[in-house]
């Protein structure tokens, strides 16, 4: 589970997150939504320890990680799929996947076989260079790379940006399966309503660095969409 309490974050002089509170239960599926620039990616980077909190606290899986490093968050079971995928273009698919193994104190040096059940195309492409993959294949690789460490929570930042519809469907199905079959907590930043509704059980809406509404997904009504999501 994730508990964010009174989180503030600044880039230099400009404050991005303001007294932000959020509670995400273990095993749930949550979509964090809001227009461009409201602070969604900044929030995820704070959760992952890539940006320091100015004040407030972040607890993940019962551990206060407010000041913890990125590596230690991997060790408490958090997988992260960043916006823009961040695949190593010169490394093969296999090497991209194995990079993750170095991030965790663990004995196994082999890749878990089930990542290829979720993303069969990666098995066929193990020796291809990451930079030669299509956008959709790279996104599958980015998610698989986060799964290598067998996390109990997966945090994804707009995994469907620029991806063709059949891969969007595949990603949706994989996220639902991971949640159902492994009880994995899914936290998703998502702008597209149909995908958010299909994957999320609960939503958080953000505006100007604050949570302005949250609830069960069916409560995300037209008024809220118009007020906080429509462009």
Ligand X SMILES: Nc1ncnc2c1ncn2[C@@H]1O[C@H](COP(=O)(O)OP(=O)(O)OP(=O)(O)O)[C@@H](O)[C@H]1O
**Contact yes or no for 81/119 (Cβ under 8 A):** no
Cβ closer to ligand X: 40 or 214? 40
Cβ closer to ligand X: 192 or 197? 192
Token duo for residue 65: 């990680």
Q: How far is the CB of 23 from ligand X (least distance, A)?
A: 20
Cβ closer to ligand X: 34 or 79? 34
**Contact yes or no for 14/22 (Cβ under 8 A):** no
**Contact yes or no for 203/13 (Cβ under 8 A):** no
Q: Three-class SS of residue 145?
A: helix
What DSSP element (H or E) covers 139? Answer: helix 135-147
Among residues 87, 201, 189, the alpha carbon closest in space to that of 146 is found at 87
Q: How far is the CB of 196 from ligand X (least distance, A)?
A: 13
> From the CA atom positions of the chain, what is the Rg in Å?
17
How many helices and strands in the chain, by DSSP H and E? 9, 10
Q: How far is the CB of 37 from ligand X (least distance, A)?
A: 4
Q: Write out the binding residues for ligand X, residues 22-51 only, by CB under 6 A.
A: 34, 36-42
Q: Write out the binding residues for ligand X, residues 79-98 only, by CB under 6 A.
A: none
**Contact yes or no for 149/73 (Cβ under 8 A):** no
**Contact yes or no for 34/157 (Cβ under 8 A):** no
Q: How far is the CB of 138 from ligand X (least distance, A)?
A: 18
Q: How far is the CB of 36 from ligand X (least distance, A)?
A: 4
230 binds ligand X (CB under 6 A): no
Cβ closer to ligand X: 183 or 194? 194
For residues 219 and 119, give the distance between their C-alpha atoms in angstroms, rounded to a whole number.
Answer: 33
Binder of ligand X out of 16, 74, 156, 174 (CB under 6 A): 16
Cβ closer to ligand X: 29 or 40? 40
11 binds ligand X (CB under 6 A): yes
170 binds ligand X (CB under 6 A): no
Among residues 140, 24, 136, 20, the alpha carbon closest in space to that of 78 is found at 24
194 binds ligand X (CB under 6 A): no
Cβ closer to ligand X: 111 or 189? 189
Q: How far is the CB of 22 from ligand X (least distance, A)?
A: 14
Residues that bind ligand X (CB under 6 A): 11, 16, 34, 36-42
């Amino acid at each position: 589970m994730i508990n964010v309490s009174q989180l503030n974050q600044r880039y230099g002089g400009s404050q991005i997150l303001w007294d932000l509170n959020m509670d995400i239960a273990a095993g749930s599926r949550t979509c964090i939504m809001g227009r461009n620039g409201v602070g969604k990616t900044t929030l995820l980077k704070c959760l992952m320890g890539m940006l320091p909190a100015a004040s407030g606290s972040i607890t993940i899986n019962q551990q206060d990680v407010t000041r913890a490093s990125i590596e230690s968050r991997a060790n408490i079971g958090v997988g992260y799929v960043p916006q823009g995928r961040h695949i190593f273009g010169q490394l093969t698919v296999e090497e991209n996947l194995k990079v993750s193994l170095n991030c965790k104190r663990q004995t196994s040096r082999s890749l878990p076989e089930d990542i290829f059940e979720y993303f069969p195309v990666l098995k066929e492409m193990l020796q291809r260079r990451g930079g030669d993959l299509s956008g959709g294949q790279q996104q599958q690789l980015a998610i698989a790379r986060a799964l290598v460490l067998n996390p109990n929570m997966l945090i994804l930042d707009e995994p469907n940006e620029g991806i063709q519809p059949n891969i969007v469907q595949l990603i949706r199905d994989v996220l639902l399966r991971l949640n159902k079959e492994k009880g994995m907590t899914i936290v998703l930043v998502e702008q597209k309503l149909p995908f958010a509704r299909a994957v999320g059980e609960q939503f958080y809406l953000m505006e100007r660095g604050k949570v302005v509404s949250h609830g069960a997904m069916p409560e995300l009504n037209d008024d809220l969409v118009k007020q906080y999501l429509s462009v």
